[in-house]
Chains A and B, each alone.
Chain A
Amino acid sequence: MDAPPTPSDASPPRETHTRDSRTGDSLSRRSLLRTGGLLAGAALTPSLLGAVAQDTVPTAAPLPDPTRTPGAPSDSLGTRSPFENPRLTPVGVTGGSSWTPHHLLHGTITPADLHFQRHHNGIPAIDPARHTVTIHGLVERPLEFTLEELKRFPSVTRTCFIECSGNGGRAWNNPKPEMSPQVVDGLTSNSEWTGVAVSTLLRAVGAKPNGTWVLAEGGDAAVMTRSVPTSKMLDDALLVYAQNGEALRPANGYPVRLLLPGWEGNMCVKWLRRLEVMDQPAMTREETSKYTDPLPGGRARQFSFVMDVKSLITSPSYPGTLPGRGWHAIRGLAWSGRGPITRVDVSTDGGRTWHAATLPNGAPPLAHTRFEYLWQWDGTPARLLSRAVDQTGAVQPTADEFRRVRGDAPGYHYTAVRAWDVAADGTVTFGGG
């Protein structure tokens, strides 16, 4: 995988959890201590701060009755409850990646500040008033657009996932029981994106018929480049300037990035500064020596753009614990770069039997799809699996099938069925795959 070693291959140690009987929120001493900084910056009473500072037992001290005490005043920016502390990990890398904590999220939209990050030489600081996008090459009229001009074109808003094609590689190559969904598959995220269709811009510049490829180039310190077939650019590519209703975050391409729905994240060039219409691919470093897939037999697959069908159970999962036997929802995400998810099956016995999960929010194309299966746990050890199918009939492969076709360590596009092991005491660990 094209990512340098990161500070830790595994999630933090399992935390001591207690459960708030009213809300079901899982609390931990560690997370409360971590949020001490947030509490100090919020308009909270000294007594509450004291309660946190003195929290030396796994159970949080009770808060004052909120119906008997006026609440905090309004704020200029909404912040998370101090009881909620989702974080990307790892942090501090300038040439690597940072993963989405899927085990702490619900629904399908990834909060923008928890969208995974992948950069090849840091996150650039860009003044939007000085940033332009130039489109040139095999065109009738090369044009340079300011950001404000891009926003004046007809806009398109759609929800879709972006997945790094190296997603899952770490868990495949070096699986450990103490891996959370964040570490296993945290390099995919799902957002509502707004921007201008690339087809609109290619019409504006008058792209010539022999311009079969378009080179996209970023304005970061890696000056990232990828060649994209013009057919994809005309089909559904967007230059997006907004994510989940607001301007892109710097780590996700501010002020404008390329979005290729369903295709590998590396091609969705961030901090976009230039599109060059060409009659052949540029054969950049990323599309030759990096994001290509060695196959058994000594060949390597090139231009493997589309992300294959895949699913991931996000709960129950490490570092969570089932509090006891009874009904539990097995929840997760499924997605495919080839079209809508048509089916997700769940197994609780390691694949001997399968059950159809529900897709409670539907299955929009090229977007994360939530699946859910209600399971009555009898308190005995169980192995949980999920297996997704997309509109083309593609089925997520087993680990054995994946290894047979793609080899032991193909480098990218890891889509094998993953396992989570539930022990009799309710602890959950990553079971590989």
Chain B
Amino acid sequence: MRHASAAARAVAVAGLLFGSAMPACTDSTPEAAPADPTYGLGHAPAPAALAAIDIDVDPTGRGLPVGSGSVTSGAVVYAAQCASCHGARGEGIAPSPALVGRTPDVGYDFSKGERAPRTIGNYWPYATTVFDYVRRAMPLSSPGSLTASETYGVVAWLLHQNGIIDSTAVMDATSLPAVTMPARRIFVPDDRTGGPAFR
């Protein structure tokens, strides 16, 4: 009965005097947050379990796995795993988007009314994003099924088809982050701030 008010004490005393089954008095003081910020909850993830889900790759290449794939090896994987939805040349088959094409040019005004295709070649700013996305989400019917080297190969093929790397290139954890994407320069930070000026 910490912090009990005088009134609460009086009620409690009355309860004792009259022998009734009074409920425990209410402590209106909030419990202090525990010194331990974890509240004693959670456990350290098992290293293997964490590694299995820690699959993201950032633009520096952090997170890229061991393995490699060439344009030629990727062509085989693409034909078997991707072409049925995205087309033999990456041209897209609705509703699956086009993956290949530098037309319209990088820097094209996509806010125009024409529904111009946004592709890896004209709208993706980082090559690492292609690897990250293919590995986690493709192919749509069995995501996560490609090996690391198959994924490197598909990415190599797509970059070559978009005219970004040459036909002899091999993609791995070192070469992929070094690829400069044509669309890298078009992105600008959000400048909307609210207020009367519409941006």
Given A121-B137, A143-B38, A204-B37, the answer on whether A283 and B59 have CB atoms closer than 8 Å is: yes
Nearest-neighbour CB distance to chain A for B52, whole angstroms, equals: 10
Digitize B176-199: 1 where CB-to-A-CB distance is under 8 Å, 0 elsewhere. 000000000011111111111011
Residue pair B95, A303 in contact (C-beta under 8 Å): no
Residue pair B45, A142 in contact (C-beta under 8 Å): yes
Query: Cβ of A395: which chain B residues have Cβ within 8 Å of it?
Result: 196, 198
Query: Cβ of B45: which chain A residues have Cβ within 8 Å of it?
Result: 134, 136, 142-144
Taking the complex as formed, is A421 at the interface, i.e. its CB lies under 8 A from any CB of chain B?
no
Query: Cβ of A370: which chain B residues have Cβ within 8 Å of it?
Result: none
Interface size of A in residues (CB-CB distance below 8 Å): 71
Please name the residue on chain B nearest to A5 by beta carbon: B95
Which of the candidate stretches B10-18, B73-81, B120-128 sits at the interface with the other chain? Answer: B120-128
Query: Cβ of A376: which chain B residues have Cβ within 8 Å of it?
Result: none
Which of the candidate stretches B64-72, B110-118, B150-158, B164-172 sits at the interface with the other chain? Answer: B110-118
Residue pair A305, B137 in contact (C-beta under 8 Å): no
Digitize B20-32: 1 where CB-to-A-CB distance is under 8 Å, 0 elsewhere. 0000000000000
**Residue A121 contacts which of B53, B54, B143 (CB distance < 8 angstroms)?**
B143
Query: Cβ of A295: which chain B residues have Cβ within 8 Å of it?
Result: 109, 111, 188
Complex: A149 Cα to B45 Cα, angstroms: 14
Chain B interface size range: 35 or more
Please name the residue on chain B nearest to A293 by beta carbon: B111
Residue pair A217, B56 in contact (C-beta under 8 Å): yes
Taking the complex as formed, is A338 at the interface, i.e. its CB lies under 8 A from any CB of chain B?
yes
Residue pair B126, A288 in contact (C-beta under 8 Å): yes
Given A153-B39, A206-B37, A395-B196, the answer on whether A120 and B137 have CB atoms closer than 8 Å is: yes
Residue pair A282, B110 in contact (C-beta under 8 Å): no
Nearest-neighbour CB distance to chain A for B43, whole angstroms, equals: 6
Nearest-neighbour CB distance to chain B for A133, whole angstroms, equals: 9
**Residue A298 contacts which of B42, B136, B186 (CB distance < 8 angstroms)?**
B186
Residue pair A288, B53 in contact (C-beta under 8 Å): no
Digitize B75-110: 1 where CB-to-A-CB distance is under 8 Å, 0 elsewhere. 000000000000000000011000000000001111
Which of the candidate stretches A184-192, A219-227, A319-327, A379-387 sits at the interface with the other chain? Answer: A219-227
Taking the complex as formed, is A100 at the interface, i.e. its CB lies under 8 A from any CB of chain B?
no
**Residue B58 contacts which of A121, A278, A289 (CB distance < 8 angstroms)?**
A278
Query: Cβ of A223: which chain B residues have Cβ within 8 Å of it?
Result: 55, 136-137, 143-144
Residue pair B186, A299 in contact (C-beta under 8 Å): yes
**Residue B129 contacts which of A221, A284, A300, A302 (CB distance < 8 angstroms)?**
A284
**Residue A283 contacts which of B37, B58, B196 (CB distance < 8 angstroms)?**
B58
Nearest-neighbour CB distance to chain B for A262, whole angstroms, equals: 11
Query: Cβ of A300: which chain B residues have Cβ within 8 Å of it?
Result: 110, 123, 186-188
Residue pair B186, A408 in contact (C-beta under 8 Å): no
How many A-B residue contacts, CB cutoff 8 Å? 186
Complex: A289 Cα to B134 Cα, angstroms: 13
Complex: A394 Cα to B42 Cα, angstroms: 43
Among B39, B42, B44, B196, chain A packs the most CB atoms within 10 A around the CB of: B42
Digitize A73-90: 1 where CB-to-B-CB distance is under 8 Å, 0 elsewhere. 000000000000000000
Residue pair A409, B195 in contact (C-beta under 8 Å): no
Query: Cβ of B186: which chain A residues have Cβ within 8 Å of it?
Result: 298-300
Complex: A172 Cα to B37 Cα, angstroms: 48
Taking the complex as formed, is A68 at the interface, i.e. its CB lies under 8 A from any CB of chain B?
no
Query: Cβ of B43: which chain A residues have Cβ within 8 Å of it?
Result: 143-144
Taking the complex as formed, is A411 at the interface, i.e. its CB lies under 8 A from any CB of chain B?
yes
Nearest-neighbour CB distance to chain B for A298, whole angstroms, equals: 4
Please name the residue on chain B nearest to A96 by beta carbon: B95
Digitize A389-404: 1 where CB-to-B-CB distance is under 8 Å, 0 elsewhere. 0101111010001100
Residue pair B41, A204 in contact (C-beta under 8 Å): yes
Nearest-neighbour CB distance to chain A for B195, whole angstroms, equals: 5
Please name the residue on chain A nearest to B60 by beta carbon: A280
Residue pair B41, A298 in contact (C-beta under 8 Å): no
Taking the complex as formed, is A18 at the interface, i.e. its CB lies under 8 A from any CB of chain B?
no
Taking the complex as formed, is B4 at the interface, i.e. its CB lies under 8 A from any CB of chain A?
no
Complex: A276 Cα to B140 Cα, angstroms: 25
Taking the complex as formed, is A308 at the interface, i.e. its CB lies under 8 A from any CB of chain B?
yes
Q: List 6 A-B contacts (CB under 8 A).
A: A134-B49, A223-B55, A288-B125, A297-B109, A393-B196, A397-B198
* A positions within 8 Å CB-CB of B: 4-5, 95, 120-121, 134, 136, 141-145, 149, 152-153, 173, 203-206, 215, 217, 221-223, 225, 273-274, 276, 278, 280-285, 288-289, 292-306, 308, 338-339, 390, 392-395, 397, 401-402, 405-411
Closest 7 CB pairs of A and B: A407-B111, A4-B95, A392-B194, A294-B110, A143-B42, A408-B113, A285-B133
* B positions within 8 Å CB-CB of A: 37-39, 41-45, 49-50, 53-60, 94-95, 107-115, 118, 120, 123-126, 128-129, 132-133, 136-137, 140, 143-144, 186-196, 198-199
A392-B194, A393-B195 known; 11 other A-B pairs, CB under 8 Å?
Answer: A4-B94, A142-B44, A278-B58, A280-B58, A283-B128, A285-B132, A296-B109, A302-B190, A394-B196, A405-B199, A406-B111
